[in-house]
Amino acid sequence: MQLEFGLFLSSFILHQEPRLLLSIGLPVSMTFSSPVIIVTGASRGIGLAVVGALLKSYKARVVTLSRTRTPELSALVSEHGDNLAPLEGDVTKEQSAIAAVDLAKSKFGRLDGLILNAGTLDPLGRIDSPESSVESWKSMFDVNLFSLVHLIKAGLPLLRESHGRVIFVSSGAANGGIAAWGPYSASKAAMNSLARTLANEEKDIVSVAVRPGVVDTEMQSIIRAKGTASMKPEEHDKFITLHAQSQLVKPEDTGHVIAGLSVGAKPELSGAFVDWQSDEVKEFRRKE
């Protein structure tokens, strides 16, 4: 009888979501197979915060893909050892995406989720400005959209096996039209469309786009420093005011929600564009 109960308990634990295990006081390590997540743009800002949350709160194993390894990312590697595998590479190159998926499979044996966070806003410029050349639009789409396609295509076979999740770090700009943000806004709108299409095509994979809020990152520094020349004054002033009044979102707060979605997003969210503060994702908020 005791043996039968033990087998039942082991089977039950094996199939639980990490967030559920944590909520009832059980370590995720009891699943015998902690989730394996690839995070792009992980060396700073939101991406770095996501990696920290995955390792500390969700007991995940993580592969990172970023152009450089910052001291902050190196510190996480030192702290978490074999649970974090950093990979340096250009996200716009197909071979980098393939290498990241291969690393997840060879080191951890599986892949449960992608967090597509790498992105750029620079250069700012109105459509008719020299800074807003067609080539600059193409370069931004290479990072903000086409790099996602590379990684999704590389990861799909393993994600189908695990019934995994793909989390797209989008922006409120996807629904807006801020002056001088043309390529950024367009690329984020395209990202959301890609998330919806993936959700429709791959019913066993949960695909969610997330609006992370106005986050205190290097991107906001660029807006404040360079936006004066090309943005509308009233639009630029909003970002200046948010910073001056300390109202920018902490990367750790939005990062915790994004990390949680990668291990616990429910199927009914697939194809949705959700705000990080919405009730739909409140279970993943960071506890103070």
Q: Is residue 10 part of a domain?
A: no
pLDDT, mean of residues 50-79 = 97
CA 58/CA 259 separation, integer angstroms: 8
Residues belonging to the active site: 170, 184, 188
DSSP string, the chain: -HHHHHHHHHHHHHTS-HHHHHHTT--GGGGSS--EEEEES-SSHHHHHHHHHHHHTS--EEEEEESS--HHHHHHHHHHGGGEEEEE--TTSHHHHHHHHHHHHHHHS---EEEE-----PSP--TTSTTS-HHHHHHHHIIIIIHHHHHHHHHHHHHHHHT-EEEEE--GGGG---TT-HHHHHHHHHHHHHHHHHHHH-TTSEEEEEE--SBSSHHHHHHHHHGGGTS-HHHHHHHHHHHHTT-SBPHHHHHHHHHHHHHH--GGGTT-EEETTSGGGGGGSPP-
Average pLDDT, integer, range 65-89: 96
* 29: in domain: no
The domain in which residue 280 lies consists of: 34-284
The alpha carbon of residue 61 and the mean position of all alpha carbons in its chain are separated, in whole angstroms, by 15
* Predicted model pTM: 0.89
Q: What is the pLDDT of residue 95?
A: 98
Average pLDDT, the chain: 91
pLDDT tens for 210-225 read 999 999 999 999 999 9
Mean pLDDT, rounded, for 261-283: 98
Mean pLDDT in residue range 110-128: 96
- 84-88 and 113-116 beta bridge pairing: unpaired
Residue of 48, 46, 56, 29 lying closest to 121 (CA atoms): 46
| In-domain check, residue 2 | no
148 or 30: which carries more pLDDT confidence?
Answer: 148
Average pLDDT on 67-92 reads 96
Indicate whether 122 belongs to any domain: yes
The per-residue pLDDT for range 146-180, each reduced to its tens digit, is 999 999 999 999 999 999 999 999 999 999 999 99
In a domain, 277, yes or no: yes
Write down the pLDDT at residue 4.
37
Within a domain: 64: yes
What does the alpha-carbon distance between residue 108 and residue 105 come to, in Å, rounded to a whole number?
5
Quick one: pLDDT at residue 46? 98
Residue 243 lies in a domain: yes
The CATH number linked to 163 is: 3.40.50.720
Structure confidence at residue 8 (pLDDT): 37
pLDDT of residue 122: 87
Can you give the pLDDT at residue 81? 87
Residue 38 lies in a domain: yes
- pLDDT band at residue 7 using 50, 70 and 90 as cut-offs: very low
The yes-or-no verdict on residue 21 having pLDDT over 70 is no
Say how many domains are in the chain.
1
Report the pLDDT value the prediction gives residue 25, as an integer from 0 to 100. 42
